[in-house]
């Protein structure tokens, strides 16, 4: 296949919404090949947004690799609870001053570039948590849970039970509506019949006129 055709096919595939990871892979390969993808962006804000997406992709890539779960998600507000305490994994080598949702990070380019490069070089990577790290995360989570800083997820009262459908729930409203419409229609027909009968009586028996002398004409 000619290079132009291959490029067109790749761009057509990558334009689909569910190929965001594939898009990031193409961008990374583009950068590794020595091309400066950042030159396509005009403003510092666009460049920062691009770097944040690359950082997000590298974090997710390492998370999928260490957990073996293709659909795993990274929730930064629950990092200590879900990643360290529950899964026993930790992200080492984070360089930015804050660890939170990437969309909330500063748009300053030098720190973002340094963080992304650390992920590429392996200085920032996922690893198994040590027993001390695991225990500290579990203890910290338990303490915040006890002090009501974290609210446990509320379970439904009917969890594990079958949900019974209310009797006569299906189509009840429509049946009532049909009945009401039917009754109104019948009464209208009856009134129309009565009007027709009255008109026929008036035609068959014209109204009698009474004179002063009592004679009827």
pLDDT digits (tens, 9 = 90+) for 63-102: 999 999 999 988 888 898 899 999 999 999 999 988 888 8
- Which is nearest to 80 in space by CA: 71, 91, 72, 68? 91
User: What pLDDT score was predicted for residue 23?
Assistant: 62
DSSP state string for 136-165: HHHHHHHHHHHTTSSPPPPPPTTTTS--PP
Question: CA–CA separation, 46 vs 109, rounded Å?
Answer: 10
CA torsion sign for 176, 181, 184, 187 is negative
Question: CA–CA separation, 18 vs 210, rounded Å?
Answer: 92
User: What pLDDT score was predicted for residue 198?
Assistant: 53
Q: Give, in degrees to the nearest 5, the angle at Cα 181 between 175 and 187.
A: 135
User: What pLDDT score was predicted for residue 4?
Assistant: 43
More confident residue, 144 or 172: 144
CB neighbours of residue 62 within 10 Å: 19
pLDDT digits (tens, 9 = 90+) for 164-190: 665 665 554 444 445 444 555 544 545
CB contact at 8 A, 51 and 45: no
Give the domain ranges of the chain.
13-146
pLDDT digits (tens, 9 = 90+) for 95-142: 998 888 888 888 899 999 999 999 999 999 999 999 999 999 888 888
């Amino acid at each position: 296949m000619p290079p132009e055709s291959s490029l067109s096919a790749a761009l057509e595939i990558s334009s689909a919404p569910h190929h965001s990871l594939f898009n990031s892979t193409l961008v990374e390969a583009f950068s590794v090949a020595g091309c400066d993808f950042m030159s396509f962006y005009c403003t510092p804000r666009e460049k920062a947004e691009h770097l944040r997406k690359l950082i997000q992709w590298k974090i997710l890539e390492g998370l999928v690799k260490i957990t073996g779960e293709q659909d795993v998600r990274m929730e930064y507000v629950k990092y200590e609870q879900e990643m360290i305490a529950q899964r026993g994994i930790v992200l080492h080598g984070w360089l930015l001053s804050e660890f939170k949702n990437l969309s909330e990070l500063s748009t300053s380019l030098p720190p973002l570039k340094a963080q992304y490069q650390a992920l590429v070089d392996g200085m920032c990577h996922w690893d198994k948590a040590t027993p001390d790290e695991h225990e500290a995360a579990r203890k910290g989570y338990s303490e915040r849970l006890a002090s009501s800083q974290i609210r446990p997820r509320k379970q439904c009262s009917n969890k594990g039970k079958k949900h019974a459908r209310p009797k006569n729930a299906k189509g009840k409203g429509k049946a009532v509506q049909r009945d009401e419409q039917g009754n109104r229609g019948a009464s209208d027909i009856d009134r129309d019949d009565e009007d027709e009968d009255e008109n026929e009586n008036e035609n068959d028996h014209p109204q009698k006129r009474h004179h002063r002398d009592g004679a009827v004409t």
